[in-house]
């Protein structure tokens, strides 16, 4: 019976992380469709909607908004790095194909390995260090540094992945203090909304009705994605299911090819294969070690 329950929870975790990947790719898609709206304005709408949804969930659940005092610093740093990564990722989405920008953002688990050394005092194994090096080689195929200035958007996307990886490391630290997912989503979304608000007030860019609709859809998809990824890791450990998060790149590539005419070049596909391949190998080795 326990084994069956474990299997069911594992399956639920996979379903939730696949839904998260789908909705994060839809978020990127709608952000791209919103057109020439400034990046900070896009980030505001994405986070404001997520904050409203998280507020509703916390009020309805009766959990309240209180978090332990020893979590505030980590919660602030998670929000600061997460906001920076989000803004950089949105800017990269506007200047790259959404598959490339999503792939560079998915370097975050490898950067999390590096940042875990400094934040959590976790020493990576030799294979984990090797996996970071191989993933960086894969990212070079996506960035294509020989293109000179044309590679700047890709470098921005990679920096966004680094910030996201650092944010996820602080997220793990907060989790050890027993702070629940909706609270983390709420404080991160509120922090990002407040950071973007001054720019919005001073430099508001008039939007058409369809642009506003796209940003509302982007924010709604982001909230659904965040709640699903939080649920995923309550059903199964990250080492068991995190590899399925890379389906976000597949979803983004399909959306880009079908609706935006974004066709990744051969070097990008090589980069995808290297990064996803080493992620799968890392996931398989982690499973064998845990058994």
Coil vs helix vs strand at 180: coil
- Would you place residue 237 in the very low, low, confident or very high pLDDT band (cuts 50, 70, 90)? low
How confident is the model at residue 10, as a pLDDT? 76
pLDDT in tens, 95-138: 887 888 888 887 887 888 888 888 888 888 888 888 888 888 88
Whole-angstrom distance, CA of residue 135 vs CA of residue 273: 10
Domain locations in the chain? 2-290
In this predicted structure, the answer to whether residue 172 has a pLDDT above a threshold of 80 is no
Helices (H), the chain: 2-33, 39-61, 72-95, 98-105, 108-119, 126-143, 152-175, 181-202, 209-235, 238-241, 247-255, 266-290
CB neighbourhood size of 167 (10 A): 24
In this predicted structure, the answer to whether residue 268 has a pLDDT above a threshold of 90 is no
Whole-angstrom distance, CA of residue 186 vs CA of residue 153: 29
31-40, 151-160, 171-180: least confident range: 171-180
How confident is the model at residue 34, as a pLDDT? 93
Average pLDDT score, the chain: 85
Whole-angstrom distance, CA of residue 273 vs CA of residue 270: 5
- Would you place residue 243 in the very low, low, confident or very high pLDDT band (cuts 50, 70, 90)? confident
Global pTM value = 0.81
41-45, 60-64, 200-204, 269-273: least confident range: 60-64
Question: How long is the chain?
Answer: 291
CB neighbourhood size of 116 (10 A): 20
Question: Which of 251, 241, 242 minimizes the C-alpha distance to 272?
Answer: 251
Exposure string for 11-29, b = 16+ CB within 10 A, e = fewer: ebbbbbbbbbbbbbbbbbb
């Amino acid at each position: 019976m326990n084994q069956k329950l474990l299997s069911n929870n594992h399956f639920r975790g996979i379903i939730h992380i696949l839904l998260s990947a789908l909705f994060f790719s839809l978020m990127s898609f709608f952000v791209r469709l919103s057109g020439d709206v400034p990046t900070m304005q896009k980030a505001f709408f994405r986070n404001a909607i997520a904050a409203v949804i998280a507020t509703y969930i916390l009020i309805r659940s009766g959990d309240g908004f209180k978090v332990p005092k020893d979590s505030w610093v980590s919660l602030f740093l998670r929000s600061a790095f997460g906001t920076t990564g989000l803004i950089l990722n949105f800017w990269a989405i506007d200047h790259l194909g959404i598959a490339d920008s999503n792939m560079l953002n998915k370097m975050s688990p490898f950067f999390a390995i590096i940042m875990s050394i400094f934040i959590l005092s976790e020493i990576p194994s030799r294979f984990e260090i090797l996996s970071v090096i191989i993933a960086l080689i894969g990212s070079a195929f996506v960035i294509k540094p020989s293109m000179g200035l044309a590679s700047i958007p890709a470098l921005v996307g990679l920096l966004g992945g680094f910030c996201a990886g650092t944010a996820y490391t602080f997220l793990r630290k907060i989790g050890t203090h027993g702070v629940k997912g909706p609270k983390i989503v709420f404080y991160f979304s509120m922090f990002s909304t407040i950071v973007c608000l001054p720019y919005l007030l001073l430099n508001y860019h008039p939007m058409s009705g369809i642009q506003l609709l796209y940003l509302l859809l982007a924010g709604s998809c982001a909230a659904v994605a965040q709640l699903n990824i939080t649920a995923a890791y309550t059903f199964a450990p990250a080492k068991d299911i995190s590899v399925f998060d890379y389906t976000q790149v597949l979803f983004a590539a399909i959306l880009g090819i079908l609706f935006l005419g974004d066709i990744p070049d051969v070097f990008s596909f090589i980069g995808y294969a290297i990064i996803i391949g080493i992620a799968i190998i890392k996931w398989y080795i982690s499973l064998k070690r845990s058994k």
